[in-house]
Amino acid sequence: MKKYIFLLILVSQFVQAYICGYRDFYYKNDLVLDSECKSDTEVISKIGFDVNITSPFIKNENKCSDMFRFRFGHIFSFGLSSCSAKFHSRMEISAGSYFYDELRIEDNSQIVLSGKVSIFAKKIYIGSNVKINYNGSPSDLFLGVYGGGLIVNQGSKISANMFVDGDLELKTGVDFSGLFITKGKFIDSGKNFNIVKPNSHKYQSDVSGVASENSGDLIYKFSIYDINSKNETISTKIAGEKFNLKIDVEAFKEIDNKKSKISGIYYDTQMRWSNAKLFCQSKGKRLPKIVELEKIRDDFIEKDITGEFWSLDEINPRKAYMFRFVNGHTKLWVEKSQKFNFKKVYCVDGGDLPLQPVEDFELDKPIQVSLVGVDGVEKQSIDFGETHSKIVTFLSNQVSQDVRVKIEYGGKEFYSKDHFAIRPDHFHLEAVDEVKAGKNFFLIALAENGKNSIVSNYNETNLSSLDLEYRELKAGCKLGKLSGDEKVEFKNGESSTSLKYSEIGEVNFTLSEKAGYEFANIDRNDTPDEVRYIKPASKIVKFAIAKLIVNSKLDNSLQGYTYIANQLNEMNGTITIDIQAVNSENQIVENFFKECYSEDINLSIPLEVESKSKDITMVLFDGEQKEIPIRDSVLNIQKSISKNQIVEKGRYQTTLYLNFKRETNRPVSPIQVKIAENLEVENFEYSSSVAGDLLFLYARMVVEDRETTKSSLSVPYIYEVYLDEPEKYPNFGKASFEPHWHRDIIANKIFDNRIELIPPSDSKLDIEKNRISLNDPEGWNRSYIIEVEAPQYLLYNKYDTNLTRGNFEVGFYKEDEEEFKVTNSDDEGDGVAVDILNKSLKLPHRRVDW
């Protein structure tokens, strides 16, 4: 029901259009019909089926189509009164034959076929960017223009077989595949086919006839090409090097021919370059193979072909269109399908008059040969004599991207068909062999000829045709960052580029041409890469560290001082050394380690040693322990670091341990140590900083003899340091009863846990830390020698050089209380000695020297 309703509506619109005097009747998106009546009527919106309409107005099938097929969502327009048609946007055409007085295919239209289609018109207009049967087979569509010419505007893409009664012109960017036959001229104004036509003459192929005696002077054709070229090409040449070219001359006479001229025939062919050889590629169904055509003139190529070809129009065999050349005339119609032969297939149209080659001729004077497009090459005079071929040698010290050979003879100019380039032979790079990482340096590039001279007219200023690449030579090492003027610009054959590289290492810089932007790009179709490209240049630059940053810090074991000790693993001062390898911007260079580019480092660390005591000896541990006598106030410690010890990228850290040799019976004055400002590093630039200082003190531990009337007592540990100038060290406690010894209050918190009291083996004393208890009822009224196990650096006895333990004495006494009075109670074990009232204590009041 919908279909019939739609037919009625549409037919009514046809009638309305006819009455209104429409010239054109448009079918647009969503079936909106418009007209010159300025009234738009929406018929049906988005109906999802196809409609076939037989026009009741068209009776002559030779003028207008008897069937129109619409598909919704596409655009189609057709005329009723004049049998004209316009195609808009996207149109799908069903199989069939269509006839028009005039057909217009508007800009940006797209014509899609669903079957075999033939379209005939007296006039056809094809707009810009039109796509007709694109990507389809040319045999699916036949376009016939029988009354005029055809212009295919720019950007259009057509796949069809065509006959054009007049001229056929292709504008810029046309993509055409298929057979086209034109009775007029073929004009490739858009240069869609890579055919170079001669400047002066055109040549007609394979037309019989005899040269007229009155046809005028000979017509000459000169061919200039590489000696070994098969396609009259000239490859890239090198400045400063001689090159040879071959020049051939041919002579022709015009033929006085009364026959109709035949323009070129294209049987489903496409013309293109392949491996520098021009050929026609056939797509005909019955053409047995691709036809490679021999080039015998500048403007056409030909090949004898004998083959059977079916008619071009296989859509409707009853009305087949087929084109043959019979005595120079084109037969347009045959009533049935039949076979026929082509004798010749031409890829380009013929010329104005046919020519006949002349074999026996001689140039009456020398030709003048020169290069156009490059300066400084002198014109040469070449005498052919009786020969028709000569070798000419050129030498240019200048370069050019577009050169042709020019021949002057008989008042006319002839040019080589091929354009070619003359390029520099190679690039050359110069730079300093070694530069500091992170520091600016200049990379000098030169364009040189074959004799290593600068090519003064080589200029490259677009900054896009050259590549400057760089790579680290040692595998596994970091590639740094290159900054600066990375785009290389040539002026007068020279370039100076300011760069800097962030890392250390050995870097290979390479300057080369970018593919597709090479100087001799004009020769890309006839010259191999190894000949066409300017030879690249390389330069290896070594990047070294800018400097070493050396930071040193001195630390004591205790709070601001260290006890003099022989046991460095227990008591020491430290010198921490932190070395960083940096570039000129003070950034750490990661390639400074053993796997890449580390180096041996030798440090000289000057220590200033100050002490009133003489004959002191430093004990230093740097992998091994060694003793260094102090004879002067300055001691230089040498620190050697092997490059294989540097395992952290760009950094090395180490610690030196030091103290002074200690004797148990000879105290020494305080020793002050600091690093002098003139720390030195061999063979490197460096900066250094120092922090802290070291104070070494001679120390001892004292435990006084004790006695008590209680069953237990605590013994205090007393730590003392030897200070012969105590006023310089106000932080220490009151003086001992012995000169120069002063209480170290802080040490009690550090060393108490390192002390062990050992009772006699035959006693029944219990000891917990520094508290001694008597658990033997029979052990009263006697004294006990308690040994003290303490660190060696706390032992002192001026009479014993081999002292290993100290000792003290404690006594436990129980007698009549009337005989004693304790001034300070010892119940809490505070370790305070008792005072004697009525008689002496059983132990003398003494100090143990250890």
Predicted confidence (pLDDT) per residue in 491-546, tens digit: 999 999 999 999 999 999 999 999 999 999 999 999 999 999 999 999 999 999 99
Measured between alpha carbons, how far is 754 from 770 in angstroms, rounded to an integer?
A: 11
Let me know how many helices (H) and strands (E) the chain has, helices first: 3, 67
Query: Do 271 and 195 meet the contact criterion of CB atoms below 8 Å apart?
Result: yes
SS3 79: coil
User: Both tokens of residue 319?
Assistant: 């009305």
Query: DSSP secondary structure string, 729-749?
Result: -TTS-PBPSSTTEEE-STTHH
Measured between alpha carbons, how far is 265 from 350 in angstroms, rounded to an integer?
A: 10
| Bridge partner residues of 58 (DSSP) | none
Specify burial of residue 447 (Cβ count, 10 A radius: 0-12, 13-18, 19+): buried
Measured between alpha carbons, how far is 433 from 761 in angstroms, rounded to an integer?
A: 80
- Residue 12 contacts by C-beta under 8 Å, 6 or more apart in sequence? none
pLDDT for 844 = 43
Domain ranges of the chain: 2-187, 209-255+351-423, 426-540, 547-697, 699-819
Query: DSSP secondary structure string, 750-768?
Result: HHGGG-EEE--TTS-EEEE
Predicted confidence (pLDDT) per residue in 433-444, tens digit: 999 999 999 999
DSSP state of 32: E
| Bridge partner residues of 808 (DSSP) | 786
DSSP state of 835: P
User: Both tokens of residue 759?
Assistant: 């009772």
Of these ranges, 25-29, 98-102, 239-243, the one predicted with the greatest mean pLDDT is 239-243
- Residue 762 contacts by C-beta under 8 Å, 6 or more apart in sequence? none
CATH topology of domain 699-819: Immunoglobulin-like (2.60.40)
Query: 632-659 burial string, b = 16+ CB within 10 Å, else e?
Result: eeebebebebeeeebeebbbbeeebbbb
pTM of the shown model: 0.58
Whether residue 810 is predicted with pLDDT greater than 70 in this model: the reply is yes
User: Both tokens of residue 281?
Assistant: 């590629």
Measured between alpha carbons, how far is 598 from 512 in angstroms, rounded to an integer?
A: 32
Query: Do 387 and 367 meet the contact criterion of CB atoms below 8 Å apart?
Result: no
Q: Which region among 97-111, 374-388, 402-416 has the lowest average model confidence (pLDDT)?
A: 97-111
SS3 644: helix
Average pLDDT, the chain: 74
Query: DSSP secondary structure string, 349-373?
Result: ---SS-EEEESS---SS-EEEEEES
Two domains, one topology: 426-540 and 699-819: yes
Predicted confidence (pLDDT) per residue in 374-386, tens digit: 999 999 999 998 8
| Bridge partner residues of 713 (DSSP) | 772
DSSP state of 552: E
Give how far Cα 640 sits from Cα of 213, 629, 643, 682, 845, Å.
104, 20, 10, 10, 56
Pairing of strands 157-159, 131-132: parallel
Average pLDDT over residues 654-679: 93
User: Both tokens of residue 289?
Assistant: 């193979």
Measured between alpha carbons, how far is 48 from 223 in angstroms, rounded to an integer?
A: 64
Predicted confidence (pLDDT) per residue in 456-496, tens digit: 999 987 777 899 999 999 999 999 999 998 788 999 999 99
Predicted confidence (pLDDT) per residue in 163-195, tens digit: 777 778 888 888 777 666 666 676 777 666 533
The one-letter amino acid at 44? I
Q: Within 10 Å of residue 300's Cβ, how many Cβ atoms?
A: 22
Task: Check residue 88 and give left, alpha or beta (phi > 0: left; psi -120 to 50: alpha).
Answer: beta
Predicted confidence (pLDDT) per residue in 277-323, tens digit: 323 333 333 333 333 333 333 333 333 333 333 333 333 333 222 23
Q: Domain 209-255+351-423 class?
A: mainly beta
Whether residue 77 is predicted with pLDDT greater than 50 in this model: the reply is no
Comparing 33 with 227, the larger pLDDT belongs to: 227
Measured between alpha carbons, how far is 384 from 688 in angstroms, rounded to an integer?
A: 84
Measured between alpha carbons, how far is 495 from 458 in angstroms, rounded to an integer?
A: 10
Residue keyed to tokens 């890579």: 194
pLDDT for 68 = 34
Domain 426-540 grouped into CATH 2.60.40 = yes
pLDDT for 107 = 87
Comparing 412 with 844, the larger pLDDT belongs to: 412
CA torsion through residues 392, 398, 399, 404, sign? negative
Reduced 3-state DSSP string for 650-706: CEEEEEEEEEECCECCECCCCEEEEECCCCEECCCCEEEEEECCEEEECEEEECCCE
Q: Which region among 28-37, 524-533, 556-565 has the lowest average model confidence (pLDDT)?
A: 28-37
Q: Which region among 143-147, 326-330, 780-784 has the lowest average model confidence (pLDDT)?
A: 326-330
Of these ranges, 345-354, 796-805, 815-824, the one predicted with the greatest mean pLDDT is 796-805
| Bridge partner residues of 70 (DSSP) | 51
Specify burial of residue 764 (Cβ count, 10 A radius: 0-12, 13-18, 19+): middle
Confidence category of residue 160, pLDDT binned at 50, 70, 90:
confident
Comparing 686 with 848, the larger pLDDT belongs to: 686
Confidence category of residue 58, pLDDT binned at 50, 70, 90:
very low
Average pLDDT over residues 212-217: 44
Maximum Cα–Cα distance across the chain = 174
Give the distance, in angstroms, between the CA of residue 144 and the centroid of all CA atoms in the same chain. Answer: 54
Of these ranges, 257-266, 526-535, 807-816, the one predicted with the greatest mean pLDDT is 526-535
Measured between alpha carbons, how far is 426 from 424 in angstroms, rounded to an integer?
A: 6
Backbone angles phi and psi of 559, in degrees to 5:
-85, 85
Confidence category of residue 100, pLDDT binned at 50, 70, 90:
confident
Whether residue 339 is predicted with pLDDT greater than 90 in this model: the reply is no
Specify burial of residue 199 (Cβ count, 10 A radius: 0-12, 13-18, 19+): exposed
Comparing 600 with 232, the larger pLDDT belongs to: 600
Share of the chain above pLDDT 70, in %: 69
* Alpha helical stretches, state H, 146-246: none
pLDDT for 51 = 30
